[in-house]
Structure 1
């Protein structure tokens, strides 16, 4: 799998949207990236590396090529935390792609959850009723969170009280992800090692 090619595909889709052009994906790329996989695209300002947009497809319900295009367009134009990316910003952001494993419910007593969550490896999804929140594996590393803080912030992301992970009817899922990012806009791509 050529991650640089996937990042280029995401950039291509966003550039075509700026140009008002239809996005036409070559058939060989559709075939090469036909495996269903969850993926998130994160855009960060360069060189500051401030978050500029992050949206993805957490479940493996779409082919990787489609999930990459979709998440790139959504991160650029639909993240409600930010105004839509402007054309003049295009070469001032770096792309980050996170490839996700399917989420698995963590089935341990609630009080044991902090003991089984691995910072730097696990991403979390918290679900209670209609509310659902997801944080990628790199987020607690970037913020220096403990497993309890990771659980609390995932609850808050879901629009729930921060301690709702302790409730019996709350479901907690974990997944892992491989993170790749451009070193600079349009530059070399590196795998991010989460510590």
Structure 2
């Protein structure tokens, strides 16, 4: 479990890592060891009270200490998301940062038991992998079937590939922390666990 204070530190670290990288082309190194966890960093561009996705990259499973994973995911979300051009320094004034700390993914035998707003999903099929964070279907108002279809699309697969016996479906939960405004107060979002 990540405390509110720890979540605030993670979001502030994500912003600092991107600022530092855009200014100096150097990846911050953190001294903080400890917790290992999967993590995703999401960037949203604000325009007149609307948010638009600007980048989202992360690591579904722990492979480094959480703080270093946040640094690397934040920089990648800002500079390597193939859906968007790299973030410009001036844009940071209009971008909010969101950090999702993930539980270890567990395999699911079928769609029964998927909880909208609680379970993030990973689909592995013979040609790739797709992941959707638990907040995505809740924010978009999807039911379980819409969630699975969009997960398939995210994996670059036909909409029913999750039914293929060779495909694997995993679920995880997340603790999500987000800035209310660019560089502003950080709060825990709803419980996605």
Aligned counterparts of 2:127 and 2:61: Cα–Cα separation in 1: 17
Q: Which runs of 4+ in 1 moved over 4 A?
A: none
Name the stretch that deviates more: 42-51 or 172-181.
Answer: 42-51
The equivalent residue for 1:25 is: 29
The equivalent residue for 1:36 is: 36
What SS class does the counterpart of residue 162 from structure 1 fall into?
coil
Find the partner of 1:129 among 126, 129, 132.
Answer: 126
Unaligned runs of 5+ in 2: none
Aligned counterparts of 1:26 and 1:38: Cα–Cα separation in 2: 17
The equivalent residue for 2:113 is: 116
The alpha-carbon deviation at position 6 of structure 1 amounts to 1.2
Please report the TM-score for the alignment, with normalisation by the length of structure 1: 0.90
Contact 2:121 2:131 in 1 (8 A): yes
The alpha-carbon deviation at position 25 of structure 1 amounts to 3.5
The alpha-carbon deviation at position 22 of structure 1 amounts to 3.0
- Cα deviation digits, residues 77-103 of structure 1 (max 9, x gap): 000111100111011100000010010
Unaligned runs of 5+ in 1: none
After superposition, the CA RMSD in angstroms is: 1.5
Residue 3 of structure 2 corresponds to residue 3 of structure 1: no
The alpha-carbon deviation at position 51 of structure 1 amounts to 0.6
The equivalent residue for 1:193 is: 190
How does 1:74-89 map onto structure 2 within 5 Å? 74-89=76-91
Contact 2:11 2:177 in 1 (8 A): no
Please report the TM-score for the alignment, with normalisation by the length of structure 2: 0.91
Aligned length in residues? 186
- Cα deviation digits, residues 18-45 of structure 1 (max 9, x gap): 1125344353xx13xx211000000001
